[in-house]
Amino acid sequence: MDDLQTRKDDALEAIAAAANPDALEALRVEALGKQGWVSQLLKTLGKMTPEERTEKAPVIQQARAEIADAIAARKQAIDDAELNERLATETLDLSLPAPETPRGTVHPVSQVMDELAEIFADLGFAVKTGPEVEDDWHNFTALNMPESHPARAMHDTFYFPDHDDDGRRMLLRTHTSPVQIRTMVNEGAPVRIIAPGRVYRSDSDATHTPMFHQVEGLVIDRDIHLGHLKWTLETFLKAFFERDDIVLRLRPSYFPFTEPSVEVDVGFEVVKGRRVLGGSGDAPGHAWMELLGSGMVNRRVIEFAGLEPDEWQGFAFGVGVDRLAMLKYGMDDLRAFFDGDIRWLQHYGFSPFDQPTLSAGVGASA
């Protein structure tokens, strides 16, 4: 028993002096581990006479409890010391200037596309995309522009030298209208979508760039007529320009893929050298500007897309996104959109925190 007392005192002393968690763990194993000396002593209890056991058991249990408590206490002390040391060295200098906020801005084209998605989502339209590298069947033929059609020449198409596996000529899409075909072919009817994206034409001056952006709209359902088209465009343009006095004029026009086709003009006036939409183009001081092309989807197109034209009808429209951005936010040179000039982006760009929402007003503050 004296021996036990000595070993225990030695152990307690060593534990109190343990410098780190590893040393402490070694001491724990030495005493309380499966092969530890305290555990070994506890095992001897089984072989003792009852009298002997009554006498020794409490002493051994007591030693085990004291050692376990000492280990726990030392562990806490080591942890506390470590934390205090960290707190003392890890200082935070609150007088340092805050880090710079991100400098990037959202490009007006992206902003306008987000605004369009928001407005049309509210009208129940889904957003669809299609490939920019298209084949001539989706870009032309299925849109009722056969090989020899003069409208193909009007599109100033960029062609690739290759053909795809079906022998179709590959090109950069000249408009977003092929997404009409892809959507009808893939999903059937009814359809209610917009399709924003890049389009390409070999053309370049202050109002034309070889790459620009369009948004296509397509509605296919039963008994759709021009009235639905006009209401939809009016509702969209009022929401987009955030003015109730937007006035449209529908003029007969021609596109191979719509019949009848209508060119849509919108009334505007010039205020401080800037074109501002609103009011009838026939009102004093006002004029009309051509804004977009649209019409009732040609029944040949519905057939090409694999739908039954006697059952399904609809309307489509296509509008330049860059032009919408210029009109709404007052830029006058389209080429600046694609220069990537940081000063232009800082001036006309939008904060990434300014997500357009209908409830907050889709036209976030520039």
Binding residues for Mg(2+): 259
SS (H, E, C) 152-165: HHHCCCCEEEEECC
If the CB atoms of residues 105 and 261 are measured against ligand PHE, the closer one turns out to be 261
Omega of the bond prior to 196 within 30 degrees of 0, cis?
no
Of the residues 120, 255, 304, 348, which one makes contact with ligand PHE according to CB under 6 A: 255
Q: Does 130 bind ligand PHE (CB under 6 A)?
A: no
Cβ 276 to ligand PHE, closest distance in Å?
25
Q: Does 175 bind ligand PHE (CB under 6 A)?
A: yes
Are 258 and 298 a contacting pair, CB within 8 Å?
Answer: yes
3-state SS, residue 98 = coil
If the CB atoms of residues 134 and 216 are measured against ligand PHE, the closer one turns out to be 216
| Position with the least CB separation from ligand PHE | 318
| Part in contact with ligand PHE (CB under 6 A); list of ranges 18-26, 164-172, 274-282, 290-298 | 290-298
Cα distance between residue 339 and residue 44, in whole Å? 88
Residues 317-336 that bind ligand PHE (CB under 6 A): 317-318
- Partnered with residue 171 across adjacent β-strands are 134, 159
Cα distance between residue 243 and residue 237, in whole Å? 8
Q: Does 316 bind ligand PHE (CB under 6 A)?
A: yes
Q: Does 220 bind ligand PHE (CB under 6 A)?
A: no
Six-digit token string for 18:
């343990």
Q: Does 105 bind ligand PHE (CB under 6 A)?
A: no
- Partnered with residue 342 across adjacent β-strands are none
Q: Does 295 bind ligand PHE (CB under 6 A)?
A: yes
The β-bridge relationship of strands 133-135 and 169-172 is antiparallel
Count Cα atoms within 13 angstroms, Cβ side, for 229.
30
Q: Does 177 bind ligand PHE (CB under 6 A)?
A: yes
- Site residues for ligand PHE per CB under 6 A: 175, 177, 216, 255, 258, 293-295, 316-318
